[in-house]
Structure 1
């Protein structure tokens, strides 16, 4: 489902990112394939420096379909950026990609909080974030950070995913799966 960023995937990912329904919501935009290669090289270097964690999202056949990254890592937190190519919207790839990425971040990478800044005009992403049972709207609880990301004008909503909330959610989900399995066996 996820793999390390690789320059070999750039041609496919660039075409997917360039779609007008995707491009406006990508954090690191590239106007050409060469620029996308450069941005990908930078992402790989930033990961080596511990400032970013970035993965390519793959479909069930191993084709690259999008990207998920944690940007601006500092003191155990960072900002989430995710995009999927237009042909893959609404096909159920977002949740498993986030689950795999969050598992890696919280269990292997030592991250404590993930922030999502979502443009107020991006209703699709706002709706998706508000459906996550482990994410909380943090406009008021993290008002200093909210004000920082909206310095010039109010553009973004801020969501937070804490390690504790996410782990509690996964424990609850595992318990519910266990109950269902137990009931089926009875």
Structure 2
């Protein structure tokens, strides 16, 4: 598995994040409306505030060369329900190199070992086949849980404004180190 490091966000990462998310491959996949570095700074400040409020754990992903290559985020953390949702994006020039899987393992360790969660939902737009194919590589994921968690599925589709697939990783199925 690829070696990487997850680091807390810093405003000093704004230029690099803006560059990565400006690529059409990433911008279109995420449906982003971030048009300036200032928008990226606003995003980072909002994420850091959400983390201080206990609603989010978001990390910048750094590869072996210590390059920032993407972001992975635990969001909508609900300690009562012991669940959250997970979203990850990787800069398109790093696609196909195993960074997505490695980042998922790292952020899921935080969810299960540090936060004590039991379920992490991973959704994707039905139109985003690349995301679905990446999720298929995760041996511990449970597919198509829309009927089991209709409220979570409805919230995802409302957020994305289009049909979505809902999957989940259960703590019991994840290889805790």
What range describes the TM-score normalised by the shorter chain of this pair? 0.7 to 0.9
Could you tell me which residue of structure 1 aligns to residue 66 of structure 2? Answer: 62
Deviates more, 1:90-99 or 1:51-60: 90-99
- Correspondence 1:6 to 2:10: yes
Residue pair 1:2, 1:58 contacting (<8 A) in 2 also: yes
Contact kept? 2:142, 2:169, Cα under 8 Å: yes
2:74 and 2:87 in contact (8 A); partners too: yes
User: Structure 2 vs 1, CA of residues 28 and 104 (structure 1 numbering), >3 Å: closer, same or farther?
Assistant: farther
C-alpha distance in 1, partners of 2:162/2:39?
Answer: 29
Which structure has the bigger radius of gyration?
Answer: 1
Normalising to structure 2: TM-score of the pair? Answer: 0.87
User: Is 1:23 the equivalent of 2:31?
Assistant: no
What's the CA shift string for 1:39-77, capped at 9, x where partnerless? 101101110100000000001021111000011112321
SS at match of 2:24: coil
Q: Are residues 41 and 150 of structure 1, via their aligned partners in 2, closer, same or farther at CA, if it must alter by over 3 Å?
A: closer
The 5-angstrom pairing of residues 152-167 of structure 1 reads 155-166=163-174
1:159 match: secondary structure: strand
Q: How does 1:98-177 map to 2 (within 5 A)?
A: 98-137=104-143, 138-150=145-157, 155-166=163-174, 170=175
Q: Runs of 5+ in structure 1 lacking a partner?
A: 175-186
Distance 2:17 2:108 in 1: 22
Q: Which structure has the higher relative contact order (CA within 8 Å, separation 6+)?
A: 2
Measured on the aligned residues, the alpha-carbon RMSD in Å equals: 2.0
Tell me, which stretches of 5 or more residues in structure 2 are unaligned? none
**For residue 77 of structure 1, what is the aligned residue in structure 2?**
83
Paired residues in the alignment total 169
